[in-house]
Chains A and B, each alone.
Chain A
Amino acid sequence: MTEEKRPTLEEVKALIGKKKEETLQIDKSMIRLFCQCIGDTNPKWQNAAPPGLVTTAMISGGALAIEVPRLYKRSVAAGADWEFHKPIKPGDAITTTHEFAEIQDRSSEKGPRVLLIYKSTHRDQKGDVVAVSTNSIMSY
Chain B
Amino acid sequence: MAQLYYEDVQEGSEIPTLEKLPTTRTLVMWAGASGDFFELHYDKDFANSMGFPKVLVHGRLEAAFLTQMLTDWIGDRGELRKLTVQYRGNAFPGDTLLCKGKVTKKYVEGGESLVECEIWVENPAGQRITPGSAVVALPTKGS
Contact = CB atoms under 8 A, between A and B. Distances in A.
Contacts of A80: 59-60, 63, 83-85
B5 interface: no
Interface in B74-91: 76, 79-87
A36 B34 CA distance: 12
A9 interface: no
Contact of B86 (A55, A73, A78, A87): A78
Contacts of A82: 63, 82-84
Contacts, number: 109
B82 A84 contact: yes
B64 to A, nearest CB: 4
Interface string A84-121: 10010000000000000000000000000000000000
Nearest to B27: A37
A51 B36 contact: no
A38 B71 contact: no
B50 interface: yes
